[in-house]
Structure 1
Amino acid sequence: MQNHCGRFYRYKYAELQKMNAEFKELKFGTSGLRDTVENMTDMECFINARGFIAYLKDAGEFKKGDTVALGGDRRPSTYKIKRAVAAAIFDMGGIVDDQGQVPSPALANYAMCNNMASIMVTGSHIPADRNGIKFTKRSGEILKSDEPGILENIRKERIKVYSIAEGFSIFDKKGAFKATFEPRFNELLKAECHTGESSELYIDRYRSTFGNEFFPEGTKIFLYQHSAVGRDIVKEIFESLGAEVFAPDIEIENVPLRSDEFVPVDTESVSDKTLGIFKRVLAENDLDIGITLDGDSDRPLLVYREYEEGRPVDNVKYITGDILGLLAILGLEKLNIKVDAVCVPVSANDSIIRICKDKGIELSQTRIGSPFVIAAMNDSIESHPGEWNVFAWESNGGFLTGTDLKIGGKTLKALPTRDAVLPLLIVMHLIVKSRKSVSELIKTLPSRFTHADREKAFPMEIGKAIISYLTPKDLNDREELEKIKKRIREVFLNEDGFGRPKELNYTDGIRILFDNGEISHLRPSGNAPEFRNYAVAGSQDRAREIVRIGIEKVIPKLAEIAKIATVASERTPKQSL
């Protein structure tokens, strides 16, 4: 097939502007592109994928004839978007290696092992009416420093595609592939349910490192499969290491435990419905621990039955992702792995700070999102030549290894992208070997508990206005900071249990430390119309209450104030120079 962008006919500038208005441009969030399925047209996905590959070409990481690995989750829109991405790879002179339905970390691991770029089509944990595209270079995830170059190349590719006269374009007026081109692009992909060799490589990554006796005999867990793309792979990994995995294909209260339809499972903001499934299955089958993953299986969730006085009670809890990461490094130490440095987002549980300080572990706190913790990992590695083990994780549980690890004479290669399997394996091993219930193990940590949730369908511009309203123009101006603290006291009320604001952190959004030790962290999402609220408190119930109050009372009030302030600002006449 001829490269269709090799020859094009330019429209007038006004015509290009009209097309820009008709088709919404996809935007980068904290890690990749995301939008509604309606906005992720064939043309828009094609343009963005071409822009990424053009950027790789400029950086010397892609040339004609190179292979690009492609994968996706189980969303109904994923295959169609993959087809547009595959067409872009082909159109740029690349070879499409369709790995099918595989976890994001499995695809990234496969691509890095084979020195190739990869593109994963996934919306992670968000609902099925949305999706996304995640780009990975040969060396790993794209960083924020890559985005300007990628966006510039996307801009150039957009002009090329928009400039092709309609009769010569592969797209119709709605941005969909013309029917005559669809069969050709379909040939670039394998069957929708295909799973490529990247899955076996990912399984062997853990099987060959830990061996079939990693878990003692009698280790048994429940796996909630839902529509997680890695459900079968994770089951095989645990079983290959000696664990028994209970993964029934049944329904509980009309909810299938293994679903053909996409189920959005958020491992950071865990729903009561999800916890209810775990509670029933664990109790009915006399199991103590259950696990699951999000849609593209790079974020883990571990749920456990509570114990009191050595006996299980009628309740379940989950280990938040930040604490799961903390337990993972403690578990790695038990395997004689030296932990030299840790990188976590500023939203993580502050008990991590205390434990790292006690153990002499270098700690970096970053903005929220894997590109930021990866950049911090890279900085740490560059600053410490020689043997230096660096780890990172996010509050959603995704765990990253920045350096190769020597475990029992075997080498576990670095995987600097979110991984769900390693923290689950290590923490499960720690629990089993400690011969303690999870409740007892959690009690050995500082009594600091986190919770997070989000206000959905929240306009992004209002979210930004809220942060602007609570941000001083000069962070060193004490008088201005006191005004901000007064604004905070007007919405975080004493009657709701809040103390006086003591410290403000603007690393990402605004993180408020009150004089009673509690924390409320407000932040607009970087890639979705959502406003997030994170909390840290002395009990899990209080952390949940802080978030509930934030979403029900504080954020709506701040939104109203921010709207009024924005309107007033717009009405203020500008002085002319």
Structure 2
Amino acid sequence: MGPKFGTSGLRGLVTELLGSTSALYTTAFARMLLDGGHVKRGGAVMIGRDFRFSSPEIAAICMGALARAGLTPIDCGELPTPALALYGMRGGAASLMVTGSHIPADRNGIKFYRPGGEINKADEQSITALAEKLSSDPDATRVEYGSGADHSVDAIRIFLDRYKTLLHKAGLKGLKVGIYQHSSVARDLLVTILESYGATVVPLGRSEGFLPVDTEAISEETRRNFANWVRKHGLDAIVSTDGDADRPLVADETGTPLRGDLLGLISAKFLKAKVIATPVTSNSGLEEASGAEVVRTRVGSPYVIDAMIEAISVGKEAVMGFEANGGVMLASDFPLAGGTLSALPTRDCVLPIVTALNRSAQIGAPLSAIVAQYSLPIALSDKIENYPYEKSAALMAHLRASESNLAQFLKQIGDVKARSDFDGLRVTLSDGRILHLRPSGNAPELRCYVEASDQDSAEQVMAQGLAALTDWSPSSL
């Protein structure tokens, strides 16, 4: 099928990206920047990468292609995607992050940033069209390994400086926090940041090989590890991120992970946000719980960012966004007691992690009690991996073809009360439970989101939904 753009960046198999494909798409990105007047010839492009085994080679190919296209690559090393984006924005430079985020190590990807922030869907279409046009050009597909001046120390310093005034120095004092380090590019930064606020930090589970950590579909093994670690070390919480550290992971004092959209809500409350942009897959209770104007979007950071930009364009203030995976984006500057937190319109993991822990420290209550205070519907998310594109496309076409097809598919789960085709298929059952099916745009995965009034009902509908998806076959039609 080849690499393609999904909810955030270009992704594909390592075997597809290594070599001419990375050179081609980087050349197309450079051409888009130059043709659109976003950068001048010779302008800098910041390059970052995650800890995947394939990322250094892909980054070198990208740097070679950028230099060949007339731009100046700057090597920012291994760092969080939001740190790279911030560094580029501060310097008025474009950026390129080599990462597959949370997907398995046999896959990788590239995220692209204009000097003003993350590219949008129109930019993706432009890059794709240019790549098709340039695919027969030997210069555009030539593999050359480039390099750039090392700016890794400066990029990390600016990211750390951003959070120095988020809380007062004792904002996390009294908390003992485990950091599940695995292969996250933020694994050492999180230690520095949390200790600077007075937390006692326990590093856990550092990995030399790459581990795909999906903050929306946490594995049973990881959940067991969390439960064991909180007991063994007497922890108040465990925090982590996905591979490129633009999605947070926070577990409470029992080792139970918190939903990403709840982390976004806590951040919104901390910042006193007036407008929140968030996808349709985020918890349906946000409108009531936030006290802010909530704008629903399709899944993917470009859609959230477009909604934030639209809100700013019509004069809205205190505008932010977040996704169900917990990544928080700021379209506005937000005043704080110790200064101002500047806009950063790309997913960030640090803000939701710190604000959730601070809420616990501030009111002297465990994270589990804070979860209960918000009284949101119980929302769960999971996925089926290695679910072929063809199968998911056939399934969605079948379910949309007729009401009887959908009813037959759900006969063991419940009766259909309402349905929506807004980014996947979202079904509200007669008892109020929600089942939302959404094929991944750039990996052979099918995601399942559910909501219910209590944990048992949510777990039941999730199990039933995953079972129905697994059992379905086009051959049965």
TM range, normalised to the smaller chain?
over 0.9
- C-alpha deviation, 1:84, in angstroms: 0.8
SS in 2 for 1:263: coil
Match of 2:470 among 541, 550, 556: 556
- C-alpha deviation, 1:67, in angstroms: 0.3
- The equivalent of 2:286 in structure 1 is 352
Match of 2:268 among 309, 322, 329: 329
- The equivalent of 1:231 in structure 2 is 187
Match of 1:297 among 240, 245, 248: 245
Q: Residues of 1 paired with 2:265 and 2:473: CA distance?
A: 35
- The equivalent of 2:155 in structure 1 is 198
C-alpha contact (below 8 Å) 2:102/2:212 kept by paired residues: yes
C-alpha contact (below 8 Å) 1:290/1:302 kept by paired residues: yes
- C-alpha deviation, 1:213, in angstroms: 2.7
Q: Residues of 1 paired with 2:123 and 2:293: CA distance?
A: 26
- The equivalent of 2:408 in structure 1 is 490
C-alpha contact (below 8 Å) 2:23/2:141 kept by paired residues: no
Bigger mean CA offset, 429-438 vs 223-232 = 429-438
Match of 1:437 among 366, 379, 386: 366
- Answering whether residue 86 of structure 2 is matched by residue 147 of structure 1, we say no
Q: Residues of 1 paired with 2:166 and 2:260: CA distance?
A: 24
SS in 1 for 2:374: coil
Cα gap change, 1:219/1:226 in structure 2, threshold over 3 Å: closer, same or farther?
same
Cα gap change, 1:426/1:490 in structure 2, threshold over 3 Å: closer, same or farther?
same
SS in 2 for 1:60: coil
Q: Give the letter for the 2:124 counterpart.
A: E
Q: Residues of 2 paired with 1:464 and 1:25: CA distance?
A: 17
- Answering whether residue 62 of structure 2 is matched by residue 85 of structure 1, we say yes
Cα gap change, 1:556/1:271 in structure 2, threshold over 3 Å: closer, same or farther?
closer
- Answering whether residue 449 of structure 2 is matched by residue 534 of structure 1, we say yes
Cα gap change, 1:258/1:195 in structure 2, threshold over 3 Å: closer, same or farther?
farther
Q: Residues of 2 paired with 1:353 and 1:461: CA distance?
A: 36
- C-alpha deviation, 1:447, in angstroms: 4.6
Q: Residues of 1 paired with 2:381 and 2:338: CA distance?
A: 39
Match of 2:297 among 356, 366, 374: 366
- The equivalent of 2:462 in structure 1 is 547
Match of 2:4 among 13, 27, 48: 27
Bigger mean CA offset, 225-234 vs 140-149 = 140-149
- Answering whether residue 448 of structure 2 is matched by residue 514 of structure 1, we say no
Q: Give the letter for the 1:398 counterpart.
A: G
Cα gap change, 1:137/1:170 in structure 2, threshold over 3 Å: closer, same or farther?
closer
- C-alpha deviation, 1:205, in angstroms: 0.2
SS in 2 for 1:396: coil
Q: Residues of 2 paired with 1:43 and 1:244: CA distance?
A: 47
SS in 2 for 1:74: coil
C-alpha contact (below 8 Å) 1:98/1:196 kept by paired residues: no
Q: Residues of 2 paired with 1:402 and 1:222: CA distance?
A: 31
Q: Residues of 2 paired with 1:366 and 1:489: CA distance?
A: 27
Q: Residues of 1 paired with 2:339 and 2:399: CA distance?
A: 51
- Which protein shows a greater Rg? 1
- C-alpha deviation, 1:25, in angstroms: 4.4
- Answering whether residue 236 of structure 2 is matched by residue 288 of structure 1, we say yes
Q: Residues of 1 paired with 2:461 and 2:203: CA distance?
A: 35
Q: Give the letter for the 2:275 counterpart.
A: A
Cα gap change, 1:410/1:226 in structure 2, threshold over 3 Å: closer, same or farther?
same
SS in 1 for 2:321: strand
Unmatched tracts of structure 1, length 5 or more = 1-23, 172-176, 249-256, 307-315, 473-482, 566-577
- C-alpha deviation, 1:409, in angstroms: 4.7
Q: Residues of 2 paired with 1:264 and 1:325: CA distance?
A: 22
- C-alpha deviation, 1:355, in angstroms: 1.9
Aligned residues: 477
The superposition leaves residues 410-452 of structure 1 with CA deviations (integer Å, 9 ceiling, x where unpaired) of 1111111010000111111111111112222222222511111
Q: Residues of 1 paired with 2:157 and 2:414: CA distance?
A: 53
C-alpha contact (below 8 Å) 2:13/2:106 kept by paired residues: yes
Q: Give the letter for the 2:54 counterpart.
A: S
Q: Residues of 1 paired with 2:473 and 2:6: CA distance?
A: 22
Runs of 4+ in 1 over 4 A off after TM superposition: none
SS in 1 for 2:163: helix
The superposition leaves residues 352-377 of structure 1 with CA deviations (integer Å, 9 ceiling, x where unpaired) of 12224xx2x21111111111111111
- Answering whether residue 20 of structure 2 is matched by residue 63 of structure 1, we say no
The superposition leaves residues 39-60 of structure 1 with CA deviations (integer Å, 9 ceiling, x where unpaired) of 1131110000000110111110
Q: Residues of 1 paired with 2:430 and 2:417: CA distance?
A: 5
- The equivalent of 1:453 in structure 2 is 382
- The equivalent of 1:276 in structure 2 is 224
The superposition leaves residues 454-494 of structure 1 with CA deviations (integer Å, 9 ceiling, x where unpaired) of 1111121221222222225xxxxxxxxxx42x32221223x
Q: Residues of 2 paired with 1:226 and 1:28: CA distance?
A: 26
- C-alpha deviation, 1:188, in angstroms: 3.8
Q: Give the letter for the 1:276 counterpart.
A: R
- The equivalent of 1:524 in structure 2 is 439
- Answering whether residue 302 of structure 2 is matched by residue 379 of structure 1, we say no
SS in 1 for 2:457: helix
Match of 2:175 among 216, 219, 226: 219
Paired residues for 1:179-198 under 5 Å: 182=145, 185=146, 187-188=147-148, 195-198=152-155
C-alpha contact (below 8 Å) 2:33/2:39 kept by paired residues: yes
SS in 2 for 1:225: strand
C-alpha contact (below 8 Å) 1:524/1:530 kept by paired residues: yes
C-alpha contact (below 8 Å) 2:416/2:429 kept by paired residues: yes
- Answering whether residue 1 of structure 2 is matched by residue 44 of structure 1, we say no
Q: Give the letter for the 1:197 counterpart.
A: D
- The equivalent of 2:96 in structure 1 is 119
SS in 2 for 1:93: coil
C-alpha contact (below 8 Å) 1:522/1:534 kept by paired residues: yes
Cα gap change, 1:159/1:25 in structure 2, threshold over 3 Å: closer, same or farther?
farther
Percent identity of paired positions between Structure 1 and Structure 2: 35
Match of 1:471 among 400, 405, 413: 400
The superposition leaves residues 482-509 of structure 1 with CA deviations (integer Å, 9 ceiling, x where unpaired) of x42x32221223xx5x332111111101
- C-alpha deviation, 1:389, in angstroms: 0.6
Q: Residues of 2 paired with 1:506 and 1:157: CA distance?
A: 35
- C-alpha deviation, 1:209, in angstroms: 3.9
Q: Residues of 1 paired with 2:106 and 2:374: CA distance?
A: 39
Q: Give the letter for the 1:210 counterpart.
A: L
- The equivalent of 1:416 in structure 2 is 345
C-alpha contact (below 8 Å) 1:282/1:290 kept by paired residues: yes
- C-alpha deviation, 1:93, in angstroms: 1.1
- C-alpha deviation, 1:231, in angstroms: 0.5
- C-alpha deviation, 1:211, in angstroms: 4.0
TM-score, reference length from structure 2: 0.95
Q: Residues of 2 paired with 1:422 and 1:116: CA distance?
A: 24
Q: Residues of 1 paired with 2:153 and 2:22: CA distance?
A: 23
C-alpha contact (below 8 Å) 2:165/2:338 kept by paired residues: no
- C-alpha deviation, 1:547, in angstroms: 2.1
- C-alpha deviation, 1:550, in angstroms: 1.6
